[in-house]
């Protein structure tokens, strides 16, 4: 339920409503608006009508049910777009266009430093790189784990770029949190609810990729798991879904971007690398992502893609990345954002 306070309602009145909500076994989320506060009361659906009693509080203007199942991710309770701060300099949403770039996997010091320096020079604001890799085959390269995280930290020290890296299992959350500025949840873990709940306890941003077969509604419910635990810094990343088409690795569902804009206040970025699986298709689909109004991109880049230990076929060379960024700049500006 949304409890809309009257304009001019005082702090004490808000506190009294929050106490009442909690006493009834619901969680209260206070959102301070420009002219009034609203309080979200989230809890058991079956008991929500009991909250109507809050109407009798002084300072309450109205009590309205939230129609969508994603109470905190939806726009009913929080109409204004969220901005997720990654570092003192970088925030996703709110008019910026953030490019996260780097190799699929961290492979060596030379590889990550060379890539980090190059993508920074071309205008990327965040360095990506996997240390724990979700591979289809258990015999494929699984990532450098601890060593990979240390190499990423070195790259951050050298370039100043904040880091995003994937957390594969609940077991690694604490360790990955220590190194990463943003924790990535990959497509395969989008409905790992135990992992999502644990990430909801953190104070670091989480980038939640869409699963290969999750609907937008299911994806938003996954975001809700993180938000409902108290972590409000969630970024969504469209990375393609499975369809009957085989010419591309996945089908990049760019229509998800305007749908999400309507349904959620959370920022949305697009990953055309996993979305297409083919290097030559990445720049045009990156442009399309910017044109459809995404808040940024995630791009796989490798100094020698033909030697990459994972996802080489979809990784851009350093030169291709630099060219793509040059083309993107005027388009991003046309879309009213800045890169």
Q: Give the nearer residue to Mn ion in terms of CB position, either 107 or 311.
A: 311
Q: Give the nearer residue to ligand PEP in terms of CB position, either 7 or 215.
A: 215
In the region spanning residues 294 to 313, those forming contacts with Mn ion, defined by CB under 5 A, are 311
Pairing of strands 37-42, 2-5: antiparallel
93 torsion bin: left (phi>0), alpha (psi -120 to 50), beta (else): left
Half-sphere exposure (CA, 13 Å, Cβ side) for 333?
Answer: 5
- Per 3-state DSSP, the chain is made up of helix, strand and coil in percentages (nearest 5) of 40, 20, 40
Q: Give the nearer residue to ligand PEP in terms of CB position, either 17 or 187.
A: 187
DSSP character for 336?
T
Binding residue (CB under 6 A) for ligand PEP from 94, 134, 293, 312? 134
207 binds ligand PEP (CB under 6 A): no
Q: How far is Cα 316 from Cα 172, in angstroms, rounded to an integer?
A: 29
318-334 and 109-122 helices, crossing angle to 10°: 30
Number of chain residues interacting with ligand PEP (CB under 6 A): 9
Binding residue (CB under 6 A) for ligand PEP from 1, 39, 187, 260? 187
Binding residue (CB under 6 A) for ligand PEP from 239, 265, 279, 337? 239
220 torsion bin: left (phi>0), alpha (psi -120 to 50), beta (else): alpha
Pairing of strands 182-185, 206-209: parallel
265 binds ligand PEP (CB under 6 A): no
In the region spanning residues 68 to 107, those forming contacts with ligand PEP, defined by CB under 6 A, are 104
> Which of Mn ion, ligand PEP, none binds 124 (CB below 5-8 Å, type-dependent)?
none
Nearest C-alpha neighbor of 335 from the set 81, 95, 134: 95
Q: How far is the CB of 243 from ligand PEP (least distance, A)?
A: 15
Per-residue tokens: 127 = 């360095």
Q: How far is Cα 164 from Cα 91, in angstroms, rounded to an integer?
A: 13
Q: Give the nearer residue to Mn ion in terms of CB position, either 21 or 104.
A: 104
> Which of ligand PEP, Mn ion, none binds 156 (CB below 5-8 Å, type-dependent)?
none
Binding residue (CB under 6 A) for ligand PEP from 71, 120, 209, 279? 209
312 binds ligand PEP (CB under 6 A): no
> Which of ligand PEP, Mn ion, none binds 116 (CB below 5-8 Å, type-dependent)?
none
In the region spanning residues 73 to 132, those forming contacts with Mn ion, defined by CB under 5 A, are 104
302 binds ligand PEP (CB under 6 A): no
Q: How far is the CB of 239 from ligand PEP (least distance, A)?
A: 4
Q: How far is the CB of 231 from Mn ion (least distance, A)?
A: 24
Half-sphere exposure (CA, 13 Å, Cβ side) for 254?
Answer: 16
186 binds ligand PEP (CB under 6 A): yes
Q: How far is the CB of 180 from Mn ion (least distance, A)?
A: 16
Stretch that binds ligand PEP, among 3-11, 21-29, 180-188, 227-235 (CB under 6 A): 180-188
> Which of ligand PEP, Mn ion, none binds 239 (CB below 5-8 Å, type-dependent)?
ligand PEP
Per-residue tokens: 183 = 């924790």
Q: How far is Cα 292 from Cα 275, in angstroms, rounded to an integer?
A: 15
In the region spanning residues 4 to 63, those forming contacts with Mn ion, defined by CB under 5 A, are none
- The DSSP line for 196-221 is HHHHTT-SS-EEEEPPTT--HHHHHH
146-159 and 109-122 helices, crossing angle to 10°: 40
> Which residues bind to ligand PEP, rule: CB under 6 A?
104, 130, 134, 186-188, 209, 239, 274
> Which residues bind to Mn ion, rule: CB under 5 A?
104, 311
């Amino acid at each position: 339920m949304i409890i809309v306070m009257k304009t001019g309602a005082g702090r004490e009145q808000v506190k009294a409503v929050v106490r009442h909500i909690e006493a009834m076994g619901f969680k209260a989320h206070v959102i301070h608006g420009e002219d009034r506060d609203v309080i979200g009361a989230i809890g058991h659906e079956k008991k929500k009508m009991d909250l109507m009693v809050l109407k009798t509080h002084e300072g309450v203007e109205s009590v309205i049910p939230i129609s969508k199942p994603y109470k905190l991710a939806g726009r009913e309770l929080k109409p204004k777009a969220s901005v997720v701060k990654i570092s003192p300099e970088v925030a996703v949403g709110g008019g910026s266009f953030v490019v996260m770039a780097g190799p699929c996997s961290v492979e060596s010091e030379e590889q990550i430093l060379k890539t980090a320096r190059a993508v920074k020079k071309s205008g990327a604001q965040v360095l990506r790189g996997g240390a724990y890799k979700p591979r289809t085959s258990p015999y494929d390269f699984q990532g450098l784990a601890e060593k990979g995280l240390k190499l990423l930290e070195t790259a951050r020290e050298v370039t100043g770029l904040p880091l995003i890296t994937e957390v594969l299992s609940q077991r690694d959350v604490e360790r990955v949190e220590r190194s990463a500025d943003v924790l990535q949840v990959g497509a395969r873990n989008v409905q790992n609810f135990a992992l999502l709940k644990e990430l909801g306890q953190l104070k670091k941003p989480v980038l939640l990729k869409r699963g290969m077969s999750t609907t937008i509604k299911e994806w938003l419910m996954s975001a809700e798991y993180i938000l409902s635990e108290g972590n409000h810094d969630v970024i969504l990343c469209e990375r393609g879904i499975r369809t009957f088409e085989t010419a591309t690795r996945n089908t990049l569902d760019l229509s998800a971007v305007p749908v999400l804009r309507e349904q959620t206040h959370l920022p949305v970025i697009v990953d055309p690398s996993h979305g297409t699986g083919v290097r030559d298709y990445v720049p045009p689909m990156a442009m399309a992502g910017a044109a459809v109004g995404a808040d940024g991109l995630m791009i796989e880049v490798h100094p020698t893609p033909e030697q990459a230990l994972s996802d080489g076929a979809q990784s851009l060379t350093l030169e291709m990345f630099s060219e793509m960024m040059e083309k993107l700049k005027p388009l991003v500006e046309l879309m009213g954002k800045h890169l």
